[in-house]
Amino acid sequence: MPFLSRALTRKKYPARCHSSYVHGVSYVFFRVRQQLETMWGLPPFEQQLLKRIVKESLAMTQNCLNAWKGRPAFSVLNASHYCIFLQFMRQMLPHGSLSDKLYLLCRMLHSVDLYSAILPPHIYFEHPVGTVMGRSPSQLGDYLTILQGVTLGGSRKKDGTLAYPVVGSHVIFYSHSTLVGDSSVGDYSVLSTGCCVINDSIPAHSLVFGTSPNLVVKTLDEERYWQFSPFAKN
């Protein structure tokens, strides 16, 4: 059993450096560095840059998780946690080779495309496989929920310019929902599974079904919203 023998002889690394993390700073740095080195190489200056941002990125991620129901501790073995962590790291870096490597790593591990995404401080990814977020996330509100297969992106207007959607706070995108173009979604709204909003405006407190231009929009009171939300009510 060669795999088992390798596992038993593998060098031990610290699994916990902070009481609020399942996997702490030292272990997380080792894991990210190992993955990047294996795939694309990591020169010394990139290793130093990576080391400087790991602790703060991990703290940002745990702060995000603290807003979830149940307040889970960060773990690199949780795909949702690790996806958010890698993207928070990218957001601390200028555009360059290290940023691109982290983008590719996140894309390879989680099948998400977040190249231009600027995630809000509090976001909930539920198995986000297949999610694509274009440049529009620079206008994403806080306490955002994203499930699998969600698409956020731009479309061209008649004059050739690109328009990107605007998303309010406390918005939930269920699986395979889409928001593109000159669109907006108000606070405390839910886009149902398969919903497709194109160049349309959704008011706050809405539950949305269907496809533009034939959307079905129902009023969603705030108490009902919290039954959908994965975030703890303040």
The conformational region for residue 169 under phi > 0 = left, psi -120 to 50 = alpha, else beta, is beta
Report whether 173 contacts 210 (CB < 8 A).
no
Domain-wise residue ranges, the chain: 14-110, 123-228
Mean pLDDT by 10 residues, the chain (234 residues): 36 40 83 96 96 95 96 93 96 93 95 88 92 74 96 85 91 96 95 96 97 96 94 90
Total Cβ atoms within 10 A of residue 109? 13
Question: Domain 123-228 classified CATH 2.60.40.10?
Answer: no
Say what the pLDDT of residue 118 is: 87
8 Å CB contact between 206 and 217: yes
Question: What whole-number distance in Å separates Cα of residue 121 and Cα of residue 144?
Answer: 9
Residue 23: its pLDDT value, please? 67
pLDDT value of residue 10 = 38
What are the CA-CA distances from residue 72 to residues 65, 68, 232 (Å)? 6, 7, 12
- Would you state the pLDDT for residue 4? 34
* Coil, helix or strand at residue 23: coil
Helical segments of the chain, H only:
2-9, 25-40, 44-65, 79-91, 97-110, 222-228
* pTM, to two decimals: 0.87
pLDDT in the model for residue 128: 83
Instruction: Give one word for 18, left, alpha or beta, with left for phi > 0 and alpha for psi -120 to 50.
Output: beta
pLDDT reported for residue 21: 63
